[in-house]
Amino acid sequence: MNQETKTKGEIMLEKAEKIGSFWAFKEEPLSKDKQLLLFDNVQFIYELALAQLELKALGVEFEVTNGLREFRLLKDPEDVETLKRKLAYFKLIKGEYTDYFYIVRKNRTRSVNQYLTHWIYPYKGKFHPQMIRALLNIIGLNRGDTVLDPFIGSGTTAVEAQLLGINCVGIDISPLCVLQSKVKTESIEVLPEILEWKDEILSKVGVNLFNLDDKALDKVIDTIPNEKVRNFYLMAKLVAVSDNARRKKDFTKAFRKNLDLMIASVKDYIDIVEELNLKLGKVNIKVGDSRNLSLDDNSIDGIVTSPPYSIALDYVSNDAHALKTLGYDLKELREEFIGVRGKGQRRIDLYNEDMKRSLEEMYRVLKPGKYAVIVIGNATYQGKEIKTVEFIIDYAERIGFKLVKNIDKIIFGLYNVMQKENILIFRKEV
């Protein structure tokens, strides 16, 4: 294979082999005694807990041996094909690779979890996609079911649901998030048209070296009739705007490089659908307010989401450059965002009120007996810890949800800074 046609995943695997080490997705000799093998990148206790929960949810009888990392089948599973198709934390079952093993290798980045189109746009606070795949399994969703994420953010739930054949309704107040999520899931439908526009688009980038704001690129993007193709190029522009603003990269170079990578990732997505014969879920992403969902009562089969963590991250300031480029008035947008309005105690009160309304809406649209997963952490504001997790559990239980699992998600980041979040699984009681 020629070096250019390889994905970063393949290149990294080769490099790792050369230095006698292995990369996260090492190939294994395929033997039937490899009954159930975890991915090498699984390292945290919460991941091992989720790995066990997903096996249980999929009806697998197993035992965990040898210091938690080794799993053994106690009984031959009836439907190995379905397990191969769905599993998130295991790379091998009954001597065969899972679909996910092939999916994660379609990766154009250096980060193990930014495969396929996940990487497009550097959004802060993305979910870990492997965790979402597992959670979709844990709450028992199947092909044709519908999952809702009322805070869709960068679209992680949408991509993972789509890959599993689960339909997804994704809602976010931020037009930038809606754009990202759409591009990540819809561009695969229009790749030939994206390619047709490429030369014309490139001819308009960097024409005027002294004026990066020149509007030639915008003008040509505006003339693209197909919305999905237009969104793709708008996103390519925003990724370059972000590279230029945050990393001081040259806009034209960044645009060209990212555009090629974006096209390659969309192609990877199309290839993996074909290689694994995936039946994709339908995705419906729109701008909306989690406090007032335009969805029918009892219409959703599951919810997987992470709301803003109290006032932990100011999503409006964080994406200010991109939102401004899209032509939005930041002051107006701010009024509708949860967790960024008001100051001091008022800010916390407003957040709590907004979250109460969002929880009531989640409860209303979910079918009875079905599950809502909420990933959330406490935040520190003005030197004080805000107990968002307790607040959410309390209110959710008050309106008729039952907390069935509360998993501590503790991870150590850069400089050993501890990040603690909770994965809360609620059931809407019948």
The pair of structure tokens assigned to 404 is: 């069935």
Place of tokens 């990933």: 375
Nearest to 151 by CA among 126, 172, 168: 172
User: At closest approach, how far in Å is the CB of 315 from ligand SAM?
Assistant: 5
Residue closer to ligand SAM, measured from CB, 53 or 177: 177
Residue closer to ligand SAM, measured from CB, 9 or 288: 288
User: At closest approach, how far in Å is the CB of 346 from ligand SAM?
Assistant: 17
| Residues 6 or more apart in contact with residue 126 via CB below 8 angstroms | 118, 153, 154, 156
User: At closest approach, how far in Å is the CB of 62 from ligand SAM?
Assistant: 29
User: At closest approach, how far in Å is the CB of 249 from ligand SAM?
Assistant: 23
User: At closest approach, how far in Å is the CB of 242 from ligand SAM?
Assistant: 15
Among positions 280-299, residues that touch ligand SAM (CB under 6 A) are: 289-291
**Interaxial angle between packed helices 344-365 and 388-398, expressed in degrees from 0 to 180 and rounded to the nearest 10:** 40
The residue sitting closest to ligand SAM, measured at its beta carbon, is 153
Number of residues this chain uses to bind ligand SAM (CB under 6 A): 24
**Residue 414 and residue 423: Cα distance in Å, rounded?**
22
Choose, by CB under 6 A, the member of 214, 271, 336, 360 that binds ligand SAM: 336
Give me the 161-200 binding string for ligand SAM, x by CB under 6 A, dash otherwise.
----------xxxx--x-----------------------
Nearest to 52 by CA among 26, 88, 76: 88
User: At closest approach, how far in Å is the CB of 362 from ligand SAM?
Assistant: 11
User: At closest approach, how far in Å is the CB of 213 from ligand SAM?
Assistant: 26
Among positions 84-123, residues that touch ligand SAM (CB under 6 A) are: 123
User: At closest approach, how far in Å is the CB of 178 from ligand SAM?
Assistant: 9
| Residues 6 or more apart in contact with residue 113 via CB below 8 angstroms | 104, 128, 129, 130
User: At closest approach, how far in Å is the CB of 369 from ligand SAM?
Assistant: 24
> Are 135 and 289 within 8 A, CB to CB?
no
The pair of structure tokens assigned to 80 is: 């190995």
Any bridge partners for residue 402, and if so which?
Answer: 427
Among positions 125-144, residues that touch ligand SAM (CB under 6 A) are: 125-127
Choose, by CB under 6 A, the member of 151, 197, 401, 426 that binds ligand SAM: 151
| Options 60-68, 135-143, 150-158, 232-240: segment touching ligand SAM (CB under 6 A) | 150-158
Tell how many helices (H) and how many strands (E) occur in the chain. 16, 14
172, 136, 281, 367: CA torsion to nearest 10: -70
User: At closest approach, how far in Å is the CB of 52 from ligand SAM?
Assistant: 23
For residue 421, state whether it binds ligand SAM (rule: CB under 6 A). no
Choose, by CB under 6 A, the member of 338, 348, 389, 396 that binds ligand SAM: 338
Residue closer to ligand SAM, measured from CB, 92 or 171: 171
Q: What would the DSSP string read from start to end of 232-274?
A: HHHHHHHHHHHHHHHH---HHHHHHHHHHHHHHHHHHHHHHHH
The residue type found at 262 is: M
| Residues 6 or more apart in contact with residue 130 via CB below 8 angstroms | 39, 47, 88, 89, 100, 104, 113
Give me the 354-393 binding string for ligand SAM, x by CB under 6 A, dash otherwise.
----------------------------------------
Tell me the residue ranges of DSSP E strands in 288-412: 300-305, 366-376, 379-381, 384-386, 401-412
| Residues 6 or more apart in contact with residue 162 via CB below 8 angstroms | 168, 185, 280, 281, 283
| Options 70-78, 321-329, 336-344, 401-409: segment touching ligand SAM (CB under 6 A) | 336-344
User: What does the binding site for ligand SAM look like in residue numbers (CB under 6 A)?
Assistant: 123, 125-127, 150-151, 153-154, 156, 171-174, 177, 289-291, 306-308, 315, 336-338
